């Protein structure tokens, strides 16, 4: 080992020591209590958003939930109220700045404050690039980037006045590693990760930690609501099957518990599952390797087809194994994801 190599080794060890020291220091900070806090969750009427709302309610938080569908919101309200939660539901399309501002004002008027913002609203689009349109990319950006930005800017004045708050952005492992056949989704989630990291740096001085959450495949039962393009039945089949695999995907409940823990400690970023952490690590070391790997994976995915937009529910077929569809249906019923 020459002198330069020894120097690099000591620098690496020093960096690792500093990182571990910071982790120990951060873990000893007083945990943030959710009891009595007002938690606003976008896209909280079903799926992960609803599971998070249940967890917050159990911790004694007061809830505000918004989503586009009034019927789904009412079912979510009944679900949460039956668990003893104090909950306000407001129809809102996070892609519309005026609606977001009005919604935040309603929550503030009702509760007097907002302590935690969870930017969770999302849309999933699966299909090859050949069948994606500019409208698909705009929809993803409007939902995953502009929506969280609108909500963040709307709650910030109140949080700054309180000199306290929490902002949580539900991004994705797709915002760290771009996946074929999900380009609108991945591109918009990359944008959200960048926004979230920058917000954390700028809002630290106001005592408003910003936490970025990067979920892996999660068993919420949401595949029926996804947008499918191309060879619809084949696209839905691979996506729904992977999403249901217990050894590959995570349960929504386990994910929610980890997310609440990260929020309580003010953690900068949480990437869920061993697979997600490994994918992020390998991508960080060699983006070229990951793009080559996914290039090979892309060769076995369904080819181009129709530009028509269909829901996952409309794309169901016998190509999905019975056990996988059974898991999807069970989780859909549990998490208000059923399509009637």
Contact 332, 312 (CB under 8 A): no
Task: Copy the structure tokens of residue 64.
Answer: 């505000």
| Centroid of chain to Cα 204 | 22
pTM: 0.89
| Centroid of chain to Cα 233 | 25
**Whole-angstrom Cα distance, residue 34 to residue 52?**
12
Please say if the pLDDT value at position 10 is more than 90: no
pLDDT at 56: 97
Please say if the pLDDT value at position 326 is more than 70: yes
What is the chain's length? 340
Please say if the pLDDT value at position 143 is more than 50: yes
* Other beta carbons less than 10 A from residue 180's beta carbon: 16
Lowest mean pLDDT among 25-39, 47-61, 80-94: 25-39
Confidence of residue 9 (pLDDT cuts 50, 70, 90): low
Q: First-to-last CA distance in the chain?
A: 67
Specify which residues 39 forms β-bridges with: 63, 116
Nearest to 73 by CA among 86, 90, 93: 90
pLDDT at 336: 82
Q: What is the pLDDT of residues 246-278, one digit of tens each?
A: 888 899 999 999 999 999 999 999 999 898 899
Domain locations in the chain?
A: 31-334
Confidence of residue 338 (pLDDT cuts 50, 70, 90): confident
Q: Which is it for strands 306-311 and 227-230: parallel, antiparallel or unpaired?
A: antiparallel
CATH number 3.30.70.141 given to 31-334:
no
* Other beta carbons less than 10 A from residue 313's beta carbon: 17
Phi first, then psi, for residue 86 (nearest 5°) are: -90, 115
* Other beta carbons less than 10 A from residue 300's beta carbon: 7
Looking at the chain, the number of H-run helices and the number of E-run strands are 12, 12
Q: What is the pLDDT of residues 35-67, one digit of tens each?
A: 999 999 999 999 999 999 999 999 999 999 999
- Taken in order 78, 81, 85, 90, the sign of the CA dihedral is positive
Contact 315, 228 (CB under 8 A): yes
pLDDT at 234: 94
Write the CB contacts of 213 (distance below 8 Å, at least 6 apart in sequence).
Answer: 168, 169, 170, 171, 259, 262, 269, 270, 272
**Residue with the two structure tokens 């930005």:** 149
Question: How does the average pLDDT of the chain come out, rounded?
Answer: 91
**Whole-angstrom Cα distance, residue 111 to residue 73?**
19
Angle separating helix axes 232-244 and 322-334, nearest 10 degrees: 70
Specify which residues 190 forms β-bridges with: none
Mean pLDDT value across residues 223-250: 91
**Whole-angstrom Cα distance, residue 39 to residue 56?**
8
Confidence of residue 16 (pLDDT cuts 50, 70, 90): very low
Mean pLDDT value across residues 217-246: 91
Contact 150, 259 (CB under 8 A): no
Write the CB contacts of 19 (distance below 8 Å, at least 6 apart in sequence).
Answer: none
pLDDT at 7: 60
Lowest mean pLDDT among 187-191, 208-212, 224-228: 224-228
Please say if the pLDDT value at position 230 is more than 60: yes
Mean pLDDT value across residues 19-36: 65
Mean pLDDT value across residues 217-238: 92
**Whole-angstrom Cα distance, residue 273 to residue 323?**
22
Confidence of residue 19 (pLDDT cuts 50, 70, 90): very low
Please say if the pLDDT value at position 145 is more than 50: yes
Active site positions, annotated:
185
Q: What dihedral do alpha carbons 140, 143, 146, 150 form, nearest 10°?
A: 180
Mean pLDDT value across residues 63-91: 96
Angle separating helix axes 97-111 and 147-162, nearest 10 degrees: 30
Phi first, then psi, for residue 304 (nearest 5°) are: -60, 155
């Amino acid at each position: 080992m020459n002198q330069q190599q020894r120097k690099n080794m000591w620098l690496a060890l020093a960096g690792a020591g500093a990182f571990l020291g910071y982790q120990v220091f951060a873990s000893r900070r007083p945990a943030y209590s959710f009891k009595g806090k007002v938690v606003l969750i976008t896209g909280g009427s079903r799926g992960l958003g609803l599971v998070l709302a249940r967890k917050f309610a159990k911790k004694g938080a007061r809830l505000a939930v918004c989503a586009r569908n009034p019927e789904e919101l009412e079912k979510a309200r009944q679900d949460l109220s039956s668990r003893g939660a104090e909950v306000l539901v407001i129809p809102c399309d996070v892609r519309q700045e005026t609606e977001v501002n009005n919604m935040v004002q309603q929550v503030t008027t009702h509760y007097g404050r907002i302590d935690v913002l969870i930017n969770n609203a999302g849309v999933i689009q699966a299909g090859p690039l050949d069948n994606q349109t500019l409208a698909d990319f705009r929809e993803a950006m409007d939902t995953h980037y502009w929506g969280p930005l609108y909500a963040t800017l709307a709650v910030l004045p109140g949080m700054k006045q309180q000199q306290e708050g929490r902002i949580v952005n539900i991004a994705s492992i797709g915002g760290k590693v771009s996946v074929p056949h999900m380009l609108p989704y991945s591109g918009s989630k990359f944008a959200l990760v960048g926004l979230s990291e920058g917000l954390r740096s700028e809002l630290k001085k106001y005592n408003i930690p910003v936490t970025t959450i990067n979920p892996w495949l999660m068993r919420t039962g949401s595949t029926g609501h996804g947008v499918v393009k191309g060879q619809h039945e084949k696209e839905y089949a691979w996506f729904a099957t992977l999403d249901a695999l217990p050894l590959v995907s995570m349960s929504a409940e386990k994910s929610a518990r980890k997310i609440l823990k990260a929020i309580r400690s003010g953690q900068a970023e949480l990437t869920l599952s061993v697979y997600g952490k490994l994918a992020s690590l390998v991508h960080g070391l060699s983006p070229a390797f990951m793009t080559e790997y996914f290039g090979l994976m892309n060769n076995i995915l369904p080819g181009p087809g129709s530009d028509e937009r269909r829901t996952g529910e409309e794309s169901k077929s016998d190509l999905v194994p019975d056990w996988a569809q059974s898991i999807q249906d069970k989780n859909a019923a549990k998490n208000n994801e059923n399509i009637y």
